[in-house]
Amino acid sequence: GAVVSQHPSWVICKSGTSVKIECRSLDFQATTMFWYRQFPKQSLMLMATSNEGSKATYEQGVEKDKFLINHASLTLSTLTVTSAHPEDSSFYICSARLMNTEAFFGQGTRLTVV
């Protein structure tokens, strides 16, 4: 199956700093990628839809100025958590979809803000 790679797998940052998470489709082009957030022992909550060459579409309640999404190419989307706070600590997962197939997920990024 198609491979989606997420980097880094885990990151620790200080409060007030920004951290960038990358999501790459390794062997296919993805016009659309999705970013999810997963709290411990909970489900995946869709944060935003990332479209190549255009602005991301954010779900209700997600702060677009805090969670900056850039989809600069057909194989790369980035999520930047700006001015991170401890409550932003979570597991972030991206997914990408081939045309008319299921979505493929990255391995996730565990963010800890101290």
Partner 1 sequence: AQTVTQSQPEMSVQEAETVTLSCTYDTSESDYYLFWYKQPPSRQMILVIRQEAYKQQNATENRFSVNFQKAAKSFSLKISDSQLGDAAMYFCAYRSRDDKIIFGKGTRLHILP
CA distance 15 to 70: 22
| Phi and psi, residue 100, nearest 5° | 55, 30
Confirm or reject binding of residue 54 to partner 1 (CB under 8 A).
no
CB-CB contact of 32 with 78 (8 Å): no
The answer to the question of residue 107 lying near partner 1 (CB under 8 A) is yes
Q: Is 68 in the site for partner 1 (CB under 8 A)?
A: no
CB of 83 to partner 1, least distance (A): 26
Q: Is 26 in the site for partner 1 (CB under 8 A)?
A: no
DSSP 8-state code for residue 27: S
| Token couple for 31 | 């016009």
Closer residue to partner 1 in complex, CB, 21/93: 93
Q: Is 5 in the site for partner 1 (CB under 8 A)?
A: no
Round to whole Å and give the CA distance between 96 and 76.
10
97 near partner 1, judged by CB under 8 A = yes
Q: From the list 12, 46, 72, 73, which residue makes contact with partner 1 (rule: CB under 8 A)? A: 46
- In whole angstroms, what is the distance from residue 70 CA to residue 47 CA? 13
Per-residue tokens: 17: 């700093």
Give the footprint of partner 1 on this chain (CB under 8 A): 1, 32, 34, 38, 42-46, 49, 91, 93, 95, 97, 102-105, 107-108
